[in-house]
Structure 1
Amino acid sequence: MATAELCWRVEEACRNARPSPVEIEIDGWLLRAAGGPVRRINCVSPPRRRAADPVAILPEVEAIYAKLGRPAIFRVPSLVRGIDAPLEERGYGLQAPTRVLYTDLARRPRTSNPAVELVDAVGEDWIAAFTTIGAASAEAVATFRQSVGCIVLPKRFAGLRIGDSLAAIAYGVIHRGLMVVEAVATHPAHRQRGHAGAVLDALMSWAVESGARGACLAVVSDNEPALALYRSLGFRRELYRYHYRRNDIAT
């Protein structure tokens, strides 16, 4: 598959793996407004074309987010040119440089770890781990529940249990032969013991069994421990990068 085609397929898969219950389209741009602290489900993403100038839609976008009491945020993938300069000129600051990584699953061996649980619906113990590990606020948990509740694609929520609690979690969603890895987290008391790797191994084995040919994920560019973990699991191919441009004038 050509790199450009794969990148846009990954963009599509990642969007569908973390949906927003509130989305509208403005001249091809996708505006998401789920609420909560997560940028990906509260930002504007560009249409699929070689260049995209956001200036024409800025008044409308800023008015919508202002009405919601939120800052206007644009997601800027390296796949699309023409977004950064106009936003920077208007005071939109750069945030969260991120890498999108990929691994081929075609020759990946299937593994099995009895300590890892895989379920097709998010349970209360998984939510409890998500809340505890990430020190998530009530608003963050509520918007996460709404988001994963909108997933209509094949999915699995994975957790590695130690005693009565889940020590490491992640979930995966398969879209058009690609598994997107989301919400990878390990409790601080159980880090550096291979638990996150075991959880991701289990998800990739499920993906292979389900016919997926590749897996992808996004990681903040300066998160060296996470980058090292993902490299060890085969995520060595960087497809593209993205960052956000945020304007706090509306808040």
Structure 2
Amino acid sequence: MSVRDATPEDIPELVRLREILADRMAQDGSFPVDGHWQEAYADSLRERLGSDDTAVYVVDAPEDGLAACGIGLIFERFPGPSLPDGRYGYIQGMTTDPGHRRRGHSRAIMSMLMQWYRDSEIRRVDLHATSDAEPLYREFGFVTDGHFYPSLTWRHPS
């Protein structure tokens, strides 16, 4: 198994894997799935693949398509005491096709993403985990970060 950078040719498979993750997250009760996001997701991937603030890593399936993927993003906000340069990371879309799970694909992608963040001198990385993936992220040092301030989200009621 080898991890590689995603290419524009991978976008249909990246959308397919994101659909799998959206369905899984809905099972955990995270949020309702809107049925009209795939085209915007594909367009965004086309725009961001290869940019300095985005890393998209994939593992090819032995037969065809992708077995797994993961996306790392770098965002910037105002600098502060915990983020002197204001930059932080967010991991999105970590997904392994159900037929390829338990083979180390996500672990290999996470290793690449975390190295990319270290190389980019990112000091904080956030993510949202499904109950299935939480143990893996904890192995990489992720912790519940609601000790001092609650994590709150607002969603438009539509």
When normalised by structure 1's length, the TM-score is 0.44
- Decide which structure has greater strand share: 1
| Distance across 2 between alignment mates of 1:167 and 1:188 | 9
Given that 1:134 and 1:185 are in contact with CA atoms closer than 8 Å, whether structure 2 keeps it comes out as: no
Distance of 2:120 and 2:13 partners within structure 1: 28
The residue number in structure 2 matching 1:144 is 41
Correspondent of 2:98 among 188, 205, 215: 188
Following the alignment from structure 2 to structure 1, what is the Cα–Cα distance between the partners of residues 18 and 46? 20
In the alignment, what sits opposite 1:130?
15
Task: Tell me if structure 2 keeps the 8 A contact 1:170–1:183.
Answer: yes
Q: Equivalent of 2:2, from 107, 115, 118?
A: 115
1:207 maps to which residue? 117
Aligned-residue offset at 1:116 = 0.5
1:146–1:242 Cα change, 3 Å: farther
CA pair 149-138 structure 1, distance change in 2 beyond 3 A: farther
**Counterpart-to-counterpart distance in 1, 2:9 and 2:141:** 31
Residue of structure 1 in register with 2:58 after alignment = 159
For structure 2, which runs of at least 5 residues remain unmatched after alignment?
23-33, 76-85
- Shift in Å at residue 243 of structure 1? 4.5
CA distance in 1, matches of 2:15, 2:46: 15
SS state of the match for residue 139, structure 1? coil
Using a 3 Å threshold, how does the CA distance of structure 1 residues 236 and 247 change in structure 2: closer, same or farther? closer
CA offset at residue 184 of structure 1?
A: 1.1
| SS at structure 1 position matched to 2:36 | helix
Q: Which residue of 2 aligns with 1:23?
A: none
Q: Does 1:236 align with 2:121?
A: no
Matched residue type, 1:238: D
Q: Aligned partners of 1:190, 1:118: CA distance in 2, in Å?
A: 19
Shift of 1:225: 1.1
Identity of aligned residues (%): 25
Measure how far apart 1:170 and its partner are: 1.1
Tell me how far apart the structure 2 counterparts of residues 161 and 126 of structure 1 sit (CA, whole Å).
13
- Pairwise mapping of residues 37-116 of structure 1 onto structure 2 (< 5 A)? 115-116=2-3
Say if 1:172 and 1:179, in contact at 8 Å, map to a contact too: yes
For CA contacts below 8 A with separation 6 or more, give which structure has more relative contact order: 1
Q: What does 1:27-38 align with in structure 2 at a 5 Å threshold? A: none
Counterpart residue type for residue 192 of structure 1: R
List gaps (5 residues or longer) in structure 1.
1-113
Aligned residue pairs total 130
TM-score after normalising by structure 2: 0.66
Tell me how far 1:115 sits from its aligned partner: 0.4
Task: Say which one has the larger Rg.
Answer: 1
Q: Which amino acid aligns with 2:120?
A: S
SS in 2 for 1:124: helix
Measured against aligned partners, the alpha-carbon deviations of 1:77-111 in whole angstroms (never above 9, x if no partner) come to: xxxxxxxxxxxxxxxxxxxxxxxxxxxxxxxxxxx
CA shift for structure 1 position 241: 2.5
